Structure 1
Amino acid sequence: MDDPPTVHPGDETISSEKLDTGRQQNKEGNIPCEEKCGVESDYPPAQGGTEQKDRLAVKRTVNKRFACTECGYRAVKKSVLIKHTRKHTGEKSYKCDQCDYCAAQKVHLDRHMTKHTGEKPYICGQCGYSTAIRYRLLEHMRIHAGEKPYKCDQCNYTSATKYNLDQHMTKHTGVKTLMCGECGFRTANRSNLSRHMRTHTGEKPYKCDQCDYSTIHKSALNRHMAKHAGNKPYMCDDCGYRTANRSYLPDI
């Protein structure tokens, strides 16, 4: 009979340490324990980061089981998908009862209705500016803070709002995407198009509260109000003639 193998003092401890170390490395570093210490591991191989991300991506896709057949957009809820599909169909089921405006979503109609009611619940605590839309107040507050996160990549222009940056960029591109359907007038500014359309509709929303005067442009109303106030800030340096209308002094 063969003699049993000789066990030296400390060998059992070393063997146990190797086993524990190998298992720990297998758990943390995805190293097969049998390669590290010659003992089969009780732990399954650790999953790699890429595989885990792939599983999460699949899970998110599975959760968004409602898919748009037009563009592939996916949503968690069917109601969200229905709202999305209105962009493709052009359906605008929410209608204003005071004008011809209609919208695809109720939140847009609610925002529009504030134009009729004049309600502006969001108020700036520093200057009194008020608006019907919360995000516009947040943009306005950047003026006081001096924050201008939107930067032009072609010049040094910066802006507190993305809308103003988009308007500025048209100076570089020359693109005028907005066009009047009546006469072909084109502009890059939505507010300019709105003002222009009033020349066709005859709408004059700016009214004087002291007489029957009304106008298309707010600046024209301001000039008119100066007649009632007697305010004439523009003066001719040669003769002292004063006027409320700057255009009467073209050389200044």
Structure 2
Amino acid sequence: MGPNGAGKTTTIECIEGLRRPDGGHIRVLGLDPHHDGYALRSRIGIQLQESVLQDRIKVWEALDLFAAFYPRSVNWQPLLEQLGLAEKRNTPFAKLSGGQKQRLFIALALVHDPEIVFLDELTTGLDPQARRAMWDLVRGVKERGKTVFLTTHFMEEAERLCDRVAIVDRGHIVALDTPEGLIRTLGAENRVVFIVDGLFEPQRLSKLTGVTRIETIGERVIVYGRGDGMVGEVVNALTTSGMRFRDLRTEQPNLKDVFLALTGREMRD
């Protein structure tokens, strides 16, 4: 993960052998991606950030063609079923939806049974339903014993799918750990969020044990703090004080908090 321009796609293209690195050494499955590109590409699958096929090529034709590129390939018929493309096997590429095209490119990346699968911003531009379907697909790839190398802008995606997360900023890895480990290391505050009806008196909550600060945005109040009992104290104080509140929810620190703490909040081109 990383901000725009951090070097995610450049890095993954160097690892795949699609771009020559300026310096350093890369080994994938013991091979140099630049010098051993032919041998390496028979063992890895790649879904690029932007890909196209000929408008008139049909789904089954694309799979049949790509399977012929490799010395060993799997039966791609089950891939159509697994990826929800069985009914689209005779559909030209140009007639597929965005999600169907993404699933087709994943099928093409898996058709030769690779050991490592590279997915570059897999779900960018997809609606929430299609994104969840892609997540299920990635889990299925992992369950078949494959290594998945994923770049993403979506924090929830990384939290749900990744065993390890590297946060990249300005070409450097600034953090590398499990999602849980990164969140734990940050030591971020818990949050209690609610809407208050009428006059809000922040001093009633600011002196509670564990409360570190209070933020108000219109009618919405966000209470930040640490400690297991902080949430209970806030709710109890609101109730006993007679303050009218609604839509109360708690928010735990997440990967988004880690990302913003490490890379900042300013806009990047």
Q: Which of the pair is proportionally richer in strand? A: 2
Q: TM-score, normalised by structure 1?
A: 0.20
Q: Which has the larger radius of gyration?
A: 1
**Per residue, is there more helix in 1 or in 2?**
1
